[in-house]
Amino acid sequence: MKNTVVTFINSKKKGQKLSMLTAYDYTMAKIIDGTEINGILVGDSLGMVTLGYDSTLAVTVEDMIHHGRAVVRGVKNTLVVVDMPFMSYHNTLAEAVDNAGRIIKQTQAHAVKVEGGREILDKVKGLIKAQIPVMGHLGLTPQSLNIMGGFKVQGKSEEAAKKIIEDAKLLEEAGVFAIVLECIPEKLADLVSKSISIPTIGIGSGGGCDGQILVYQDMLNMDEDFKPKFVKTFADAGLVIKEGIKKYTDQVRDGEFPAAEHTFTMKDEVLEKLY
Ligand SMILES: Nc1nc(=O)c2c([nH]1)NC[C@@H]1CN(c3ccc(C(=O)N[C@@H](CCC(=O)O)C(=O)O)cc3)CN21
Ligand SMILES: CC(C)C(=O)C(=O)O
Ligand SMILES: [Mg+2]
């Protein structure tokens, strides 16, 4: 079934869990789109997993458009959300609407995602007023890395937990169609999910969320060096890829590849003229 922001909201009413994954390019988007996944996020995590930065802060609107366009070309049925990168919606409302507008126009994705609650509420409202669907993101918001002092679990104190609950309600009122809850305690995520009628999409926030999202490289074990507690390996693509590459280099070295069936022929009479 085709997923839209409307089917997303309806899923919660029906008690159906939503699954999302990230994608950053055409090939992977096509693979993911061919599954039962409900939504694809072109995450600004692309700065870390495709560009090798150690945070998401350096990612630009142009980066998001570049990858977003590639992903959308590979998608037929899945809702595509593109992250707005750091500093693209933090200054003026006009800039936020302009950047979101460029992202949607140039990628043809369905929605954007922004990090934060009360601080960015005017921007969220402005984007929705401009008819751009918005996904919220609370808890561990990686663009606030330098304020949080690291990628750390959020919402553990009474004050921090209350702010997350309040922010979720404010975002719902503003009209967001779903909210990512990243790395907050399970019980707090349960409470937030019960307090609002739009779906919560959890990452590191437990099973009480209305859906889940993971970075695909994490759940397919493609980076041995990134293993936070919330990641589960669903398939060992890292190993499959390495084994495939080992077979390839072995066979090239041993002259086993390429074989006759991988090569092209030409007519003998043409060949004779070449000598
Ligand atoms: N590959 C990848 N996967 C992600 O999920 C992801 C990114 N990159 N980049 C952007 C953010 C950063 N994220 C992160 C990164 C590290 C931790 C981490 O190390 N967490 C600790 C918990 C620390 C604590 O106890 O407070 C852990 O052990 O899980 C969590 C989320 C999630 N996002
Ligand atoms: C981890 C998800 C929620 C994200 O924001 C990203 O991939 O950038
Ligand atoms: Mg992100």
**In the structure, what pLDDT confidence band is assigned to residue 156 with cuts at 50, 70 and 90?**
very high
For residue 15, pLDDT over 90 is answered with: yes
DSSP conformation class of 90: S
Q: Let me know: does 127 contact 120? Beta carbons within 8 Å.
A: no
**What are the tokens at 139?**
């808890």
The question of whether 182 is a catalytic residue gets the answer yes
For residue 191, pLDDT over 80 is answered with: yes
For residue 64 and ligand 2, the question of a CB distance below 6 A is answered with no
Q: List Cβ neighbours of 2 (8 Å cut-off, separation of 6 or more).
A: 77
Q: What is the pLDDT of residues 206-263, one digit of tens each?
A: 999 999 999 999 999 999 999 999 999 999 999 999 999 999 999 999 999 999 999 9
Q: Which residues of 237-262 are buried (b: 16+ CB within 10 A; e: fewer)?
A: eeeeeeeeeeeeeeeeeeeeeeeeee
Return the percentage of the chain with pLDDT > 70, whole number.
100
For residue 2, pLDDT over 80 is answered with: yes
113 marked as part of a ligand binding site: yes
Peptide bond into 133 cis (omega under 30): no
Q: What is the pLDDT of residues 30-60, one digit of tens each?
A: 999 999 999 999 999 999 999 999 999 999 9
**In the structure, what pLDDT confidence band is assigned to residue 182 with cuts at 50, 70 and 90?**
very high
Phi-psi bin for 221: left (phi > 0), alpha (psi -120 to 50), beta? Answer: left
DSSP conformation class of 136: E
- In the chain, what are the domains? 5-236 (3.20.20.60), 240-272 (no CATH)
- ipTM of the complex as predicted: 0.96
83 marked as part of a ligand binding site: yes
Q: What is the pLDDT of residues 104-149, one digit of tens each?
A: 999 999 999 999 999 999 999 999 999 999 999 999 999 999 999 9
For residue 205 and ligand 2, the question of a CB distance below 6 A is answered with no
Return the percentage of the chain with pLDDT > 90, whole number.
99
Pocket test for ligand 2, best of 28, 215, 219 (most atoms within 8 A of CB): 215
Nearest partner of 83 among 164, 139, 23, judged by Cα: 23
For residue 183 and ligand 1, the question of a CB distance below 6 A is answered with yes
**What are the tokens at 9?**
């909201």
**In the structure, what pLDDT confidence band is assigned to residue 1 with cuts at 50, 70 and 90?**
low
How distant is the alpha carbon of residue 38 from its chain centre? 12
Nearest partner of 190 among 179, 178, 200, 177, judged by Cα: 200
